[in-house]
Amino acid sequence: MNDTQQKQLGSTLWAIADKLRGAMNADDFKDYMLSFLFLRYLSDNYEEAVKKELGSDYQKSEFEIKNNKDNKGNLDDYIDELKAVIVKYSNSLSPKKLGLQEDEKSQEKIKKARQEFVDDNNKMLYSHVVTPLAAWYIRNLDQVDMLEKQMRRKIHYVIKPAYLWSNINELARTQNSQLLRTLQSGFRYIENESFESRFRGLFSEVNLDSDKLGKNYSERNTLLCSIITEIAEGLSKFPNETDLLGDAYEYLIGQFAAGSGKKAGEFYTPQQVSTILSRIVSLDSQDPSTGKKSKLRNVLDFACGSGSLLINVRKQFGTNGIGQIFGQEKNITTYNLARMNMLLHGVKDSEFQIHHGDSLLNDWNILKEMNPAKKMQFEAVVANPPFSYRWQPKEEMAEDFRFKNYGLAPKSAADFAFLLHGFHFLSDDGTMAIILPHGVLFRGGVEERIRTKFLKDGNIDAIIGLPANLFFSTGIPVCVLVLKKCKKYDDVLIINASEYFEKGKRQNTLLPEQIDKIIETYQYRKEDDKRYSRRVSMEEIEKNGYNLNISRYVSTAPEEEIVNIEEVRQELEKIEGDIKEAKKKHNAFLKELGLKELP
């Protein structure tokens, strides 16, 4: 899919969201819209894979359905026949196969379990449309477990035919009263059974019983029918490609972020800024001028929001270019967005770990190892943490292994606490790129001590000043700090890119060539334009009291013209002579006219 189609698709889906959300807050509607896109992606991917796996058997199911239509068979009779197959198979199952004890004697429990099995499988026929996969499932109920085991091995998840988008869409299109119940069951199934690793709470923020959808079941069901039908119709106008929904998901996250104002900072880093960080960490750590790494062992974003920054890093390396992706997010809604975002972009559940927790408290067990030989280390660390976040560190945190050699960031701004957290887990051959407010470059007190230690230890590789108003959550200009434990150069590259941007009505943006300029300057440590970048020696930084305020070293102000004082004196002398001559002539005229002369 090309860029134009991506924008058209995004615009189409955004128009649908705008039209259908009614009085609902955009931030609330986001969870519904994005969850349905996620379901559509999982469904398309699964149906395509299972069709390939079943091969001729799938074709037989297609032929069976077509044959029934061609022979003008009665659809109700055909569905009744399939229901009878389900009942017959249910009656043949042992108590153990029904989920009971093998020696279960209670006929009432056995009867109830058989009925539950029948009801569960009848969901495939609620829409009154028989899909090839549903037909195969019903005709081969004894082989379903084997098929699903195979699908888990190949694509890492399973979705029952009743919960696939094709069936959900048909229920919505026909305004079927079972849609809401089917969605509720389907979301529970995906959370608890679809994947080998449980995605518990994946849809926890999607309240299908919310009054925001309607006052009662019927009203909620009707609105959901409209939303899903509109989404399906909108998507049908575009090619069905693998990356289609991942791109649409990213676009919508950006659009919802734009409408969320300050709240957007909780979950979204603009793509242009993400690209800068991801391209920086993709370069060789010791000598960026040698180019990009071929692979990355792992990457961590400890304030990952919706995961867009991690996805961007993955794009730099391709599908199999990163061994493992790690992310942490405190906000539960955003944490769920990140997990969906990973799967939507084709990252297998075995290839990523997103943890719901607080990075400042370091509550992720895998990061608590204190033995240096066993601690987790990441070849790339990227982050866009909350700016100047107010926190309440306890006294004992001063002894925390992340902070004790540097100092504890002040309560008024946790910027350095976030930086220290990420830096602690950076590998010796890795690169860290973090977005922070400019205050970290020059504020005094404990922040000055932390900054000074980083500089003396030779860990700050580069500072990049970005333009103002790039973010939805704040209009202030920010900077990117690049840190390493394997730094090659004994200077600090300072780039002042604050004047290079495309001005927009609400938000400024960075053009591709402006991003390229930043990356090339960083990669080759260029100093072609001293008003854009400089390699600043440690001696100069020390003379400035370890203050890293960018304008001290790289100023965008126009250079003052050198003034030749002697030339100016001579020019003034000439002007003075001209004035005397002019006054003399003027007074002569005044005298002739009998008027008072100028003094």
**pLDDT tens, N- to C-terminus, the chain (599 residues):** 566 777 777 788 878 877 777 667 777 788 888 889 889 989 999 999 999 999 999 999 999 998 887 776 688 899 999 999 999 999 999 988 888 888 888 899 999 999 999 999 999 999 989 999 999 999 999 999 999 999 999 988 999 999 999 999 999 999 999 999 999 999 999 999 998 776 888 888 888 998 888 899 999 999 999 999 998 988 888 776 656 777 777 777 777 766 655 444 445 688 899 999 999 999 999 999 999 999 999 999 999 988 999 999 999 999 889 999 999 999 888 898 899 889 988 898 889 999 999 999 999 999 998 787 888 999 999 999 999 999 999 989 999 999 999 999 999 999 999 999 999 999 999 999 999 999 999 999 999 999 999 999 999 999 999 999 888 767 788 999 999 998 889 999 999 999 999 988 778 899 999 999 999 999 999 998 989 999 999 999 999 999 999 999 998 766 667 788 888 888 888 898 888 888 888 888 887 888 888 87
Fold of 3-257: Ferritin (1.20.1260)
Q: What number of other Cβ atoms are within 10 A of residue 371's Cβ?
A: 6
Is residue 426 within 8 A of residue 233, CB to CB? The reply is: no
* Pairwise CA distance, residues 30 & 25, whole Å: 9
Give the pLDDT score at 265: 47
Residues 6+ apart with CB under 8 A from 399: none
Nearest Cα to Cα of residue 548 among 497, 493, 499, 498: 493
CA nearest neighbour of 118 among 84, 74, 152: 84
d(CA 355, CA 307) in angstroms, rounded, equals 12
| Tokens describing residue 384 | 């866009």
By the 10 Å C-beta count (0-12 exposed, 13-18 middle, 19+ buried), 185 is classed as middle
CATH 1.20.1260.30 domain extents, the chain: 3-257
**Residues sharing a CB contact under 8 Å with residue 283, sequence separation 6 or more, in sequence order:** 291, 292, 293, 431, 522, 523
- The distance in angstroms from the start CA to the end CA of the chain is 83
**Six token digits for residue 7:** 């924008």
Domain with CATH 3.40.50.150 in the chain: 270-553
In the three-class reduction of DSSP (H, G, I as helix; E, B as strand; rest coil), residue 493 is classed as strand
Q: Which helix (H) or strand (E) holds 252?
A: helix 244-260
- Where does 231-365 show beta strands of DSSP type E? 296-301, 322-329, 352-356
Helices (H), 345-474: 415-424, 439-442, 446-456
The C-alpha atoms of residue 142 and residue 89 are separated, in whole angstroms, by 8
**CB of 221 closer than 8 Å to CB of 179:** yes
Residue 246, H or E segment: helix 244-260
Residue 482 contacts residue 522 (beta carbons within 8 Å) = yes
Domain boundaries 270-553, corresponding CATH code: 3.40.50.150
Integer Cα distance of 209 and 220 in angstroms: 7
Q: Which residues does 228 contact at the CB level (< 8 Å), separation at least 6?
A: 36, 168, 169, 172, 179
Give the Cβ contact number of residue 588 at 10 Å. Answer: 11
Per-residue pLDDT, 2: 61
For position 263, what pLDDT does the model report?
46
The reported pLDDT for the residue numbered 581 is 85
Segments in 283-414 forming alpha helices (H): 308-317, 332-344
Mention every residue, 6+ apart, whose C-beta is less than 8 A from residue 172: 179, 224, 225, 226, 227, 228, 229, 232
CB 478 within 8 A of CB 436: yes
